[in-house]
Chain A
């Protein structure tokens, strides 16, 4: 069933042009939706709207069939988990403490974490392959480790919808691939996934559907092969590029140098 759905969103930041205009998208359980588009095309705004940080002027977001406005804050955190873009560390917690923060929405103000909470934390640590880091403080982690810990914190929420905003920024190839593999496994296990990324080629290989945004509007939505077309992408990114096919049939985007395209 459709776990996350946004219909006809309109968002404007203080008098500016619409950051999102008429955007509609959906993700079912077991489905990974990749949101791609140039800088400033509204990707992060979309995350802010579907997570309830920003209320749209028009349109509606539903999570698990219920309008976002009708979820209580703590309740929603048990269904929808978001790993936002950056995060600065002021007071360095340990890895296990950080992942336990994912259980807070389920804990009373005075109650200590119970066995179910510890089990959820341990499972999240194991699934993200950070169990051996549990006792380290987070200011000692590498970029890839820190991203996996933040993902584990989100999994400890035991969500049904997982939203990731550019999860592989500043990660090298191995850590990037490991993260996408992990996300794919989680989605295959039943989560609905929404991932924002600049990696068109990884989006093409890992996502079931792609939403291409351009200046706040939908420039394409559907299966990777239907959305990642040279003419569309050229117009959206305003740069010459070619699209080839990888051996598994997924489209692969190659940006061209100006003299290769015969334009410019």
Chain B
């Protein structure tokens, strides 16, 4: 990427973070935000430091991670419609998290582990289902299986939430729709701890992703260990999705919208694409969160609603293009 584009990208990221810190139930000027960040005595300090900063940073990291998941899965199954939500990973992770909450066994650090188990189970099930037609994997059947597994997980989640008497689980209903209302420094720490390793692993596999995007056979001939990279991608995206779901519920379509936009801006080589996708996904989700908490002030719209409103038209566009 050229220096000018890199600078523009940093500008977009900085602007989205600034807007994220300034907007909200109590609108702040950029000067107030800056003062609040610099000094604990400034009037806006508590709002900026304790409420908005962790919220904005969490939204950025989650958005970046979900977008990277989308890009990696799209290369893996060679279809621009792949992303954690549509492939059922989010549903599986949500179910895992709800089970953990309902059994009252889980603290904030353990919920992602249960979500991870759920996401992995969902991946395995989706994969198994789409092999029914034969040994060759058809990306379209994979997506269909993902939607079906996601719907099944959603039904089980609703049942558990309705039947459970634990108050934490009642709240789960709102949490499931996706939102950063409960963001905290602890949630940020939990997410960062779980996301760092899989993000690094996907980043280091950028070249392998270029190869597997060609298809299993050409990738093999060009030197890629296709089975190893497949396991790595499924494992890392399951982990990232699980960590996201655990801290902020189910947020769909980030992994669909952002890589699509990034491919129109940069070459589809993953070494340049992945950093762009991460920064773009982060900014996108920060701004979506701004919309979610300002559009119906003082009420907050779940951020998953906002991303779906943007994501579904993009999905339709991509679908038209992939069929044409």
Q: Are A104 and B222 in contact (CB under 8 A)?
A: yes
Q: Are A88 and B215 in contact (CB under 8 A)?
A: yes
Interface residues of B in 178-215 (CB under 8 A from A): 204-207, 210-211, 213-215
Which of A77, A83, A93, A110 contacts B223, CB < 8 Å? A77
**B108 beta carbon closer than 8 Å to chain A:** no
Which of A53, A73, A92, A157 contacts B268, CB < 8 Å? A92
Contact flag A84-B268 (CB < 8 Å), given A90-B213, A109-B207, A110-B204? no
Q: Are A109 and B204 in contact (CB under 8 A)?
A: yes
Q: Are B222 and A101 in contact (CB under 8 A)?
A: yes
On chain B, the number of residues with a Cβ less than 8 Å from chain A's Cβ atoms is: 25
Going nearest first, the 9 A-B pairs with the smallest beta carbon separation are A105-B223, A77-B223, A82-B221, A91-B268, A74-B223, A90-B78, A109-B204, A84-B217, A73-B225
Q: Are B217 and A101 in contact (CB under 8 A)?
A: no
**B224 beta carbon closer than 8 Å to chain A:** yes
Q: Are A87 and B223 in contact (CB under 8 A)?
A: no
**Minimal beta-carbon separation of A165 from chain B (angstroms):** 10
Q: How far is the CA of A101 from the CA of B78 in the complex (A)?
A: 17
**A42 beta carbon closer than 8 Å to chain B:** no
Of all chain A residues, the one with the shortest Cβ separation from B270 is A91
Interface residues of A in 90-127 (CB under 8 A from B): 90-94, 97, 101-102, 104-105, 107, 109-110
**B49 beta carbon closer than 8 Å to chain A:** no
A97: chain B residues at CB < 8 Å are 267, 269
Q: How far is the CA of A83 from the CA of B215 in the complex (A)?
A: 13
A157: chain B residues at CB < 8 Å are 222-223
Of all chain B residues, the one with the shortest Cβ separation from A110 is B204
Known: A76-B223, A87-B218. 12 other contacts (CB 8 A): A51-B220, A53-B217, A74-B223, A81-B221, A87-B215, A90-B79, A93-B268, A94-B267, A101-B211, A104-B210, A105-B222, A157-B223
**A52 beta carbon closer than 8 Å to chain B:** yes
**B252 beta carbon closer than 8 Å to chain A:** no
Interface residues of A in 37-95 (CB under 8 A from B): 51-53, 73-74, 76-78, 81-84, 87-88, 90-94
Q: Are A104 and B213 in contact (CB under 8 A)?
A: no
Q: Are B223 and A91 in contact (CB under 8 A)?
A: no
Of all chain A residues, the one with the shortest Cβ separation from B75 is A91
B218: chain A residues at CB < 8 Å are 84, 87
Of all chain B residues, the one with the shortest Cβ separation from A105 is B223
**Minimal beta-carbon separation of A59 from chain B (angstroms):** 20
Q: How far is the CA of A88 from the CA of B213 in the complex (A)?
A: 10
A93: chain B residues at CB < 8 Å are 210, 267-269
Q: How far is the CA of A51 from the CA of B221 in the complex (A)?
A: 7
**B80 beta carbon closer than 8 Å to chain A:** yes
Most buried by B among A82, A90, A97, A154: A90
**Minimal beta-carbon separation of A151 from chain B (angstroms):** 12
**B230 beta carbon closer than 8 Å to chain A:** no
**Residue interface mask B45-86, A partner, CB < 8 A = 1:** 000000000000000000000000000000100111000000
**Minimal beta-carbon separation of A9 from chain B (angstroms):** 19
Q: How far is the CA of A102 from the CA of B222 in the complex (A)?
A: 6
